[in-house]
């Protein structure tokens, strides 16, 4: 795992940000993705990711906490779980987690 962190919000909830290598069927094998999760606490945020199939997700320390823009993005998304393929690129849009985890659709033959 590359890094991650969290920010505690005034209402007591947290936003967890974790940078992970992308799954094989994602935007590019091994390309880093930044995943954001909004939850009541850190443990619940990590549980949300594990329930989505990201089993080996751990948060050790607070080296890369979410930026204010990342916090705003995840708070305004109905699912509260987002990802972006290029963490350092501001032009890359945030995507719902379903777009990262859905199985690849085979090309239609015609």
Tens place of pLDDT for every residue, the chain, 110 residues?
458 999 999 999 999 999 887 665 555 556 788 899 999 999 999 999 899 888 778 888 899 999 999 999 999 988 899 988 866 666 778 888 877 765 545 555 55
Q: Is residue 94 part of a domain?
A: yes
Structure tokens at 36: 């954001």
On whether residue 54 sits in a domain, the answer given is yes
Task: Read off the pTM.
Answer: 0.78
Residue 53 lies in a domain: yes
Task: Provide the domain limits for residue 29.
Answer: 3-101
Q: Say if CB 62 and CB 51 are below 8 A apart.
A: no
pLDDT for res 22? 64
Determine how many CB atoms are found less than 10 A away from the CB of residue 58.
10
Q: Establish if 107 belongs to a structural domain.
A: no
Per the structure, the count of domains in the chain is 1
41 falls within a domain: yes
């Amino acid at each position: 795992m590359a890094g991650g962190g969290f920010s505690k919000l005034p209402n007591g909830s947290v936003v967890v940000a974790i940078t992970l290598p992308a799954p094989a069927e994602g935007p590019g094998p091994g390309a880093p993705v930044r995943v954001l999760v909004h939850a009541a606490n850190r443990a619940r945020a990590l549980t949300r990711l594990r329930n989505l199939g990201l089993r080996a997700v751990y948060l050790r320390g607070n080296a890369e906490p979410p930026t204010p823009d990342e916090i705003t993005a995840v708070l305004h998304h109905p699912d509260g779980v987002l990802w972006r393929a290029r963490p350092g690129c501001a032009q890359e849009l945030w995507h719902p987690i379903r777009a990262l985890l859905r199985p690849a659709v085979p090309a239609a033959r015609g």
